[in-house]
Amino acid sequence: MSSPERTPIERADDYVLGLLDDKERIDFEAEMEADHALRAAVAGSRDRFLELDLTGYAEPIPAELWSRIEASLRIPHDVGTPEPLTKAESANDNSLSHWKRTAFAGIAASAVLAVALGYMVFDQQKPEVIAVLMDENGAPRVLVEDFGDTHARITPLGDFKAPTDKSMQVWTLPNKELGATSLGLLGTWQTATLDSRALPMPHEEQLYEITLEQPGGSPTGRPTGPILVKGFAKIPR
């Protein structure tokens, strides 16, 4: 059975969320230049996911980071401050020596930034899949990062007040044989890491959702209450 063709909005969502590999992104951007509908879909996706962009929190930078960067790059101490220009150089900003110093300082700064970003990205465990869960109005409300090792991180993307007499329960559907499986309960509407029993490795388009259940969770082991949010997994690239 062939996969159904993806809609412009679905493709735009993948682009905005950074789920395309380099070739896919380049091809998509080339197509977007000549396709007004695709550009409009991307603009709409950016508007819908704006709240997701605004919820990112700053990770504390370890105190030893900069010393490690300097040691790995072996940047001369005088690189960051170009020598004062002579009168002749000031009259001609195209002076070769001036541009060499400026260019080298820029390269060093770019390298520092690249190392810093790489440190912050690769020093953390990468999820096997991510899923943005939407409410009934199509607004992004929750980010799920499933690490495929019995734990998943749940990050709310906005405020929500659950009824005090209900529990919020997170579910996923690994396959039809297992059926809907609980990943755990959310005690409060804030970032939480849930530990669950071992499940098959998560995959593309795997369903995730959060329902309102009785206090302590569903009595049947399956979703019984109303669905708050739901979404399908993507593999981060």
The closest of 192, 52, 190 to 131, measured between CA atoms, is 52
Q: How confident is the model at residue 222 (pLDDT cuts 50, 70, 90)?
A: very high
**pLDDT confidence band for 184 (50 / 70 / 90):** very high
What's domain 129-232's architecture? Sandwich (2.60)
State mean pLDDT over 177-184. 92
Q: Torsions phi, psi of 34, nearest 5?
A: -105, 0
What is the mean pLDDT of the segment spanning 24-38?
88
Binning pLDDT at 50, 70 and 90, where does residue 117 land? very low
CB atoms within 10 A of CB 198: 7
Give the pLDDT score at 48. Answer: 72
pLDDT number for residue 180: 92
What digits encode the pLDDT tens for the residues 189-205? 888 899 887 888 999 99
Structure-block tokens of residue 11: 């493709």
Nearest to 171 by CA among 122, 230, 124: 230
Whether the predicted pLDDT of 20 surpasses 60: yes
Q: What whole-number distance in Å separates Cα of residue 195 and Cα of residue 184?
A: 7
How many Cβ atoms sit within 10 Å of the Cβ of residue 193? Answer: 12
Closest residue by Cα to residue 131 from 122, 117, 143: 143
Domain boundaries, the chain: 8-48, 65-122, 129-232
What local confidence, expressed as pLDDT, does residue 32 receive? 87
Angle at 111 between CA 109 and CA 117, to 5 degrees: 105
